[in-house]
Structure 1
Amino acid sequence: MNWLLVIVGGMIGAPLRYLTDRTVQARHDTTFPWGTFTVNIAGCLVLGLLIGAVTAHAASSQVLLFLGTGLCGTLTTYSTFSYETLRLVHDGARFYAAANVLASVVAGLGAAFIGTALAQALWG
């Protein structure tokens, strides 16, 4: 039954990722991949919150499978991040490529930390 939780979460996360990416990117007139950046940071925040909730016994492992593995697994995208970074390099936008890598790693780790800290404050 765990596989079904992952599938249903993925069925929600994949279109959410696409729609969020397109909505965010349409609002920015730049080569920087703001849509992918947004979904990846949001996913890190949600996953950090979920891990904190599970650790504090405020959420079950089934919730983690559904939201963490299913939803966040399809909401976030390392492959698109990599592709867009390489595309920026290829197009000569090396500053944006470096900024994408640095900002994504720092903001992603920061969002995960904030999520776990928030969970600790709520349920710890």
Structure 2
Amino acid sequence: MTAVAVALGGALGALTRWWVSESLQGGAPDLRFPWGTFTVNLLGALLLGLLYGVLQHVEVSAGARAFMTVGVLGAFTTFSTFSFEAVAMAHGGALARAALYLGTSVLAGVLLAWLGFQAGQSIAAP
């Protein structure tokens, strides 16, 4: 049953990622700066941190946890696209832009995951 929860969550997360990228980039990857991928990855880091902070204090089933974390947020964020976009920028000669994308994505992602976790702890703490 957990596999079904992950699959359903994955479908929802992937569709949401597609919608955000379409909204921000009009469907075409913008290798000047890939705002769609940047946005979903940072938002996903924040939401996953928030969710894990809340789940420290709230009991949910394994299926519900897998649906939200692995399914929805796992499919919403994308490491492979992030990696490819950085390679494409570097290959196109935009080394500084690629480095900025890599650095800001990783540092901001970790910071937002931590902030989300702290907020989740505060929201759900007894």
Aligned equivalent of 1:25: 25
Q: How many residues end up aligned between the 2 structures?
A: 122
Query: What does 1:104-119 align with in structure 2 at a 5 Å threshold?
Result: 104-119=105-120
Question: Unpaired runs of 5+ in structure 2?
Answer: none
CA RMSD of aligned residues (A): 1.5
- The separation in 1 between residues aligned to 2:106 and 2:61, in whole angstroms, is 28
Q: Is the 8 A contact 2:45 2:109 kept in 1?
A: yes
Aligned equivalent of 1:7: 7
Superimposed CA distance per residue, residues 78-122 of structure 1 (whole angstroms, 9 cap, x where no aligned partner): 000000000000111111100011000011111111111111111
The two structures have a TM-score, normalised by structure 2, of 0.90
1:74 aligns with 2:75: yes
Q: Calculate percent identity across the aligned residue pairs.
A: 39
The two structures have a TM-score, normalised by structure 1, of 0.91
How far is 1:4 from its partner?
A: 1.0
Superimposed CA distance per residue, residues 44-67 of structure 1 (whole angstroms, 9 cap, x where no aligned partner): 111111111111225443332111
Q: Which amino acid aligns with 1:117?
A: Q
Q: Is the 8 A contact 1:58 1:123 kept in 2?
A: no
- The separation in 2 between residues aligned to 1:62 and 1:48, in whole angstroms, is 18
Report the secondary structure of 1:120's partner residue.
helix
Question: Unpaired runs of 5+ in structure 1?
Answer: none
Query: What does 1:14-53 align with in structure 2 at a 5 Å threshold?
Result: 14-26=14-26, 31-53=32-54
